[in-house]
Amino acid sequence: MFSDTIFNDEIIRPTRVEVDLTTIRKNFNEIKKLIGNVKIMPILKANAYGHGLVRIAKLMEELKADYIGVAVLEEGILLRRNGINIPILVLGGIWGNQIPLFLKYDLIITASSISKLKQIDEIAGQLNTKAKVHLKIDTGMERLGVHYYNSEQFFEESLKCKNVIVDGVYSHFANSENSDLTFSKIQLERFNQSILFYDKKSLPKPIFHFSNSGAILQLPEANFDLVRPGLLLYGVYPSNEIIKKVKVEPALTWKSLVVYFKVIKKDSTVGYGMTWKAPNDTRAVTIPVGYGDGYFRSMSHKAEVILNKKRYQVVGTISMDQIVVNIENDSAYNGDEVILIGKDEDVSITVEELANWAGTIPYEILTNINTRVPRIYKE
């Protein structure tokens, strides 16, 4: 497996991802301007949405982000082992045997039920330490968390835990990226009613957080004490419907090189399944990228790439490691640069286009760019 840096500054493969750290820095600062005096927890799960977990975490620490959010324990451990000292919340569910590792690496645990909260308290006591947790309230997502209508009992039980520090309480929106925010507002009201517990009991309040990228843009009343930008940080809007209150730009460019040029004779077929036949003698090039890299097979006969400032169609079924591009009557040479996501002057291909060709969402496109594709960082 490749790490998110290139050893000895060598390009290991002609297919690579370039990440513009200056762009991510600008996006971060634009989000900060929008949210005002609110803490920020950039979400770096799934290899920082394909941008490279460790390097982006170092940038977030440099930018003085208040927290980092990841999905699984292993992501948090990797960051600690690479010298990241910022508070890290693991957003996903946990197994009991993972709790000692959370404590060893000073990671904040999502406590999503009373039984798990008690288990965290018990193990922390056995290890003579304190566990930091964020209590998860389910306001309508139906994944993790105690249902909002049972939240009072959850909070009461947390007060009994002697070895747990409740650092935060949070929930998650189901559709804050949509133009219809009816259900999001219902979720917000449920959360507001739940956290009234702290006022009723005259208790010190932990950090409350709810807003993801969609809510940051459309529901500022959900920002509370901290926001959790994910896709927005990397310069991609969560949907086409969303109100774009902040200007962000994509930070990721996916590139490759021409490795073979050929002339395909009329009526010859291309690729597995012989799904494309040349209508006439056609010039074509082979590019060393495929679904093994995250270039989805479902984009076959739809995808386009940029070569020499012009868009060309991918023909034939996308293979695990290679694609064929029809360049018609134009010329290309081995070593010519090919852009899969990105732009060349006025010609661009967006992650949203790939998502449309693949029948999926931009999140899946970015997070599926395989770790065998080297990441190269630019300032």
Task: In the chain, list all ranges with CATH 2.40.37.10.
Answer: 252-378
Percent of the chain with pLDDT over 90: 95
Q: Please give the CATH number for the structural domain made up of 38-234.
A: 3.20.20.10
The per-residue pLDDT for range 265-306, each reduced to its tens digit, is 999 999 999 999 999 999 999 999 999 999 999 999 999 999
The per-residue pLDDT for range 89-145, each reduced to its tens digit, is 999 999 989 999 999 999 999 999 999 999 999 999 999 999 999 999 999 999 999
Average pLDDT over residues 47-60: 98
**Is pLDDT larger for residue 71 or for residue 6?**
71
How confident is residue 318, by pLDDT bands cut at 50, 70 and 90? very high
Q: Which residues pair with 347 in a beta bridge?
A: 344
Backbone angles phi, psi at 375, to 5 degrees: -100, 130
Give the contacts of 60 (CB within 8 A, at least 6 positions apart): 28, 42, 44, 68, 86
The per-residue pLDDT for range 328-359, each reduced to its tens digit, is 999 999 999 999 999 999 999 999 999 999 99
Q: Which CATH superfamily includes the segment(s) 252-378?
A: Lyase, Ornithine Decarboxylase; Chain A, domain 1 (2.40.37.10)
Burial of 221 (0-12, 13-18, 19+ CB in 10 A): exposed
Task: In the chain, list all ranges with CATH 3.20.20.10.
Answer: 38-234
pLDDT at 5: 44
Average pLDDT of the chain, as a whole number = 95
pLDDT at 7: 45
CA 337 to chain centre: 26
pLDDT at 3: 41
Whether the pLDDT of residue 11 is over 80: the answer is: no
Distances (CA, A) of 81 to 76, 77, 375: 9, 6, 20
The catalytic residues are 45, 272
The per-residue pLDDT for range 197-253, each reduced to its tens digit, is 999 999 999 999 999 999 999 999 999 999 999 999 999 999 999 989 999 999 999
Give the contacts of 334 (CB within 8 A, at least 6 positions apart): 257, 258, 259, 260, 261
pLDDT at 107: 98
* Token pair of 155 as six digits: 């909070």
Distances (CA, A) of 342 to 26, 230, 235, 369: 18, 20, 12, 14
The per-residue pLDDT for range 66-78, each reduced to its tens digit, is 999 999 999 999 9
pLDDT at 96: 83
pLDDT at 6: 44
pLDDT at 285: 98
**Cα(121)–Cα(158) distance, integer angstroms:** 9
Distances (CA, A) of 335 to 15, 162, 180, 195, 256: 11, 63, 48, 59, 9
Burial of 97 (0-12, 13-18, 19+ CB in 10 A): exposed
Distances (CA, A) of 232 to 25, 135, 226, 238, 249: 12, 25, 15, 7, 9
Burial of 85 (0-12, 13-18, 19+ CB in 10 A): exposed
Under 8 Å between Cβ of 57 and 89: no
The per-residue pLDDT for range 130-186, each reduced to its tens digit, is 999 999 999 999 999 999 999 999 999 999 999 999 999 999 999 999 999 999 999
pLDDT at 2: 34
